[in-house]
Amino acid sequence: MKELLNFDFENQQFSFNEDRLNGIDFRRLASQELFHANKSFVIIKNFLSKETAIKIRDFYTESQNKDIFIKTSREGNSRIFYYLNSPYIYPKFVVSLLRSCMFIKNKIYQYHDYYQYYCMLKNLDPKDFMKVVDLQVFHSWQAVYWYRNNESHFKHIDYYGELACFLILSEKSKDYDEGGIKVYYEDDNRDCFLDDYYEYGDLVFLDQSQVYHEVLPVRHRENQVGRLSIYIPTIPPNYMKKTLFFEGFPFSPRSTVGDISFFDRMKAVCRGLSTREQIHYSRVRFSHFKEML
């Protein structure tokens, strides 16, 4: 099967294989799998080629880029956060990849009431998927999640409007031996280990507001890298403050609701300086030691 997303190494940009894109029945995937109580997840196989997915894995784990991951708790994973509306400059291929994943997410999310309501409130055409992406980046972040030995994420369920999307950059039995996402259903006999179903380069969607889920502790050998994926969540616009500050840019607040006027920007700067607002760990400044894939 031809990969859905092609990569131009010279220009460091991704583009869609239009023939394959047009052949995907997103309505069926949404109604019969993702937003269905008996399943609640969808796997788009070969979203990226295996070779490209492995190159991205190595970009983060086999260069000095491994030193920019943040770990905030003993049990939790290590992370690199991206805010596409931030003042930071990210590698060109990273931005292209994240936006492409968000575009595909909107293609399937259009069949959920939350997406339609969001577009109505924002006066957007629900079918203009990339225009919706342009607005979503104001109030969204994305992250690379790296689980190494004994790292996990607690069992939980998320809020209405959230939809999980993961780009898979590792494989069970190749990069790690145990652990991964477990999804819980009311019928305990149907509990599902998602990691048993996907491979390098797959794109996974999980209706995280409908089913409890957790990442069980990962176990890997010394010659294995661990469990790696890119997480592209749907974050409702009211979850964040209206203005965000980033480390190193005290005079450049970013609005989470759209463009910000000069007057509102100055008010936010004055308020931030007077209260000495703390920079969240996800908005600290970092540089990629390697920029190109």
Together in a domain, 113 and 12:
yes
Q: What is the pLDDT of residue 272?
A: 58
Weakly modelled stretches of the chain, pLDDT under 50 = none
Together in a domain, 124 and 264:
no
Yes or no: say if 199 and 50 are a contact pair by the CB < 8 Å rule: yes
Cα distances (angstroms) measured from residue 271 to each of 238, 244, 247, 257: 20, 12, 16, 18
CATH of the domain at 221: 2.60.120.620
Q: What is the pLDDT of residue 38?
A: 85
Together in a domain, 131 and 20:
yes
Together in a domain, 31 and 18:
yes
Together in a domain, 274 and 182:
no
Q: What is the pLDDT of residue 119?
A: 97
Q: What is the pLDDT of residue 1?
A: 82
**What is the biggest distance separating any 2 CA atoms in the chain, rounded to whole angstroms?**
57
- Is residue 176 included in any domain, yes or no? yes
Q: How many helices (H) and strands (E) does the chain have?
A: 7, 15
Together in a domain, 132 and 263:
no
Together in a domain, 9 and 118:
yes
Q: What is the pLDDT of residue 82?
A: 98
Together in a domain, 189 and 211:
yes
- Is residue 291 included in any domain, yes or no? no
**Contact residues for 207 (Cβ-Cβ < 8 A; gap 6+):** 34, 35, 40, 41, 163, 164
**Number of domains composing the chain:** 2
Together in a domain, 230 and 253:
no
- Parallel, antiparallel or unpaired: strands 70-71 and 78-82: antiparallel
Together in a domain, 106 and 216:
yes
Together in a domain, 162 and 248:
no
